[in-house]
Amino acid sequence: MSIPPGASASVILHFLFRTDEGLIGRGVWWRGSLFLAGCLALLTGLWMELSTFAYEAQGPAARVDLFDPNIFAAYAYLIFYGFCVLLISISHYNLSAKRWRARGKPPALAGLLPLLALFSGAAHWLYPRVSESMPYWTVSVTDAALIVVILWNVVELGLLGAGPESEAS
């Protein structure tokens, strides 16, 4: 299964991100990964701006009304952001599974990067809340494992050849 010539954008997006079947070249993997990383960076930047509203209602000195539209909007966006992070993780799995298969390796290896990214994000979220019972080295270990897997994916899927190079363009 591959992208048919002259396919519409919806067919291409469905093939790349909504199914793990098929084979792709490294060029397609790079473009798909950079697209997903750009979407994630944009959404994360928005959350970093809005998070100040979400956290201003916390703490002993917090004085907020019963309903504050800024805080409501921040938490509504947080729900949307979490949903998008999960969709981007699933989409990256589907994209990478095709490339792992093209390299002749088990497509299940594609699950390592999204899994470690979610673990790392969870560790960074959890640590400030339970720092007295969670050593910081646990956060560092998840970050180090994530970096190793990212580098491994870049080398295996983005730099090494093999697979349908005709589809890489």
Residue 107: is its pLDDT beyond 60?
yes
In this prediction, residues 111-121 reach a mean pLDDT of 94
Instruction: Give the pLDDT score at 113.
Output: 95
Give me the mean pLDDT over the 62-67 stretch. 64
Amino acid letter at 14? H
What is the spatial distance between Cα 72 and Cα 85, in angstroms, rounded to a whole number? 20
Domain boundaries, the chain: 24-161
| Tokens representing residue 60 in the block | 């002993």
**Rounded Cα gap, residues 76 and 66, in angstroms:** 16
**pLDDT confidence of residue 84:** 95
Higher pLDDT, 95 or 3: 95
Per-residue pLDDT tens for 66-83? Answer: 677 878 888 899 999 999
Q: Which two tokens stand for residue 18?
A: 């909504």
Q: How many C-beta atoms surround the C-beta of residue 54 within 10 A?
A: 17
pLDDT at position 167? 44
SS3 167: helix
Report the phi/psi class of residue 5: left, alpha or beta, with left for phi > 0 and alpha for psi in -120 to 50. Answer: beta
The tokens describing 83, both together, are 């949903």
Mean pLDDT computed over 51-76: 71
pLDDT in tens, 124-159: 989 988 989 999 999 999 999 999 999 999 999 998
